[in-house]
Amino acid sequence: MPATPQSPRAALVTLGCARNEVDSEELAGRLTEDGWELVDPDGGADVVVINTCGFVAAAKKDSIDTLLAAADTGAKVVAVGCLAERYGTELARSLPEADAVLGFDAYPELGGRLREVLAGRAVPTHQPVDRRTLLPITPASRPAALAAGPALPGHGWGPRVPRRRLDDSPVAPLKIASGCDRRCAFCAIPAFRGAFVSRPVEDVVAEATWLAGSGVRELVLVSENSTSYGKDLGRPGALEELLRRLSVIAGILRIRVSYLQPAETRPALVTTIAATVGVANYFDLSFQHASEPVLRRMRRFGSRESFLALLDQIRQQSPAAGVRSNVIVGFPGETGADVAELERFLTEARLDAIGVFGYSDEDGTEAAGLPGQHDEDTIAERVSRISLLAEQLTAARAEERVGETVDVLVESVAAPDADPEEAETIGRGEHQAPEVDGECRFTGSGTQPFAIGDVVRCRAIAAQGVDLIVEPMELIAPAGGVP
């Protein structure tokens, strides 16, 4: 149903990770089909829909602050997303400024729910449920359970889920699965995202083809755990197959895989990423720590030695591969020796990017009840200590890349009337994921005739922190062109 001058107007605000970005674009597609006009948050919306994040304390606060700010605009405010799914009635009770709090199950009928809100009628508040109970625990029995009923609520796809892009970036996230079957002691995500469910390969390829037709050059594959892709389909090598299928789609120049579990990163997957043209030589490995005792308490696998062996395997096949990871410090029971083991690992690992997080209790997780809890000052001191080391190590790794040839996807260019002395063209190389891993900044940007979406072969001539200063050599794939 097309929008008309009398159509209700909705704005979408997305917080959190790339998975939420996909959810918002699916919601945008649903609303557009239902006759809603989508506007900017400051564009006179009748309803502002906040797609919240509920992962850690800082993200929860950001979500609540955003909801409160939206309420000040005079528009109706509706909370969806992870915070709404996770806390539902509690969030509605503590935040009366929100006109409705809706869970994942409301997504297929979102347009109707928003009309109810506009009409001043009460909309039932989401009642949280442990989503791990909605599917069989055994992955092998999951396909039959899914086939026997409707599309699983909240997992974001079914026979047809529309998607409408909310920007014109040459980069787009592409969700390949939802949920998680792992039971990491610190993580609440499986409880509100549910069991792991892979999207069929054909569905992912079809959406990727559509994204290519809208001008996307780089796909970022996202899920809660990409190395589990295909296990619930009875196809443990499905991720490798998917990467090969995506790599031949016309217009797509780079496929990047996010959220790899080190213990599940198979040799065949390493080879596929390293050797498949069009797949970024980039490994987003979720190490979380390197001390074996801490990892066991986290209910994870691995050690400093096994992680270094995996990195050695990667670099034997792709010496210039980019590698990023996240680590948690201050986990219950973590000792000074454990922190030293983590420092030793990071120093030896030569990672391009490192996210450092301080442990915080999450409701309903095993870790919240573990002995050996650290006070806030101890955690803050360890975060500061590891963050400083990470900053030094990643800057040194960027320095190692000076002299390398880097194929850069241009993501921003100077405005036509910008001062040439201050104008910059900025993009990313294969070893840099969007927003989190640094960027490539062109020399002489004000005089370079590049466009957003161009891929330019460059030489790295200097490093500034994790960023590279690059000198353009040749345009190898113009925006809008099919290689």
Q: Angle at CA 54, nearest 5°, toward 227 and 12?
A: 100
Backbone angles phi, psi at 157, to 5 degrees: -155, 165
Q: Angle at CA 467, nearest 5°, toward 461 and 472?
A: 40
Note the pLDDT of residue 136.
62
Note the pLDDT of residue 138.
66
Note the pLDDT of residue 10.
96
Note the pLDDT of residue 233.
82
Say how far apart CA 121 and CA 301 lie, in whole Å: 50
List per-block mean pLDDT (blocks of 10 residues) for the chain, which spans 483 residues.
76 91 93 94 90 80 87 91 92 91 92 95 90 70 64 51 90 93 92 88 93 95 94 88 97 96 95 96 97 97 97 96 97 98 98 96 92 97 98 97 97 71 83 92 76 95 96 89 51
Say how far apart CA 391 and CA 384 lie, in whole Å: 10
Phi/psi zone of residue 264: left (φ > 0), alpha (ψ -120 to 50 degrees), beta? alpha
- CA gyration radius, the chain: 23
Indicate the pTM of the whole model: 0.92
Note the pLDDT of residue 419.
60
Q: CA dihedral defined by 227, 203, 249, 242, rounded to 10 degrees? A: 20
Candidates 107, 148, 144, 152; CA nearest to 126 is 107
Note the pLDDT of residue 246.
98
Say how far apart CA 191 and CA 186 lie, in whole Å: 12
Note the pLDDT of residue 372.
96
Q: Angle at CA 282, nearest 5°, toward 298 and 202?
A: 90
Note the pLDDT of residue 157.
47
Note the pLDDT of residue 150.
47
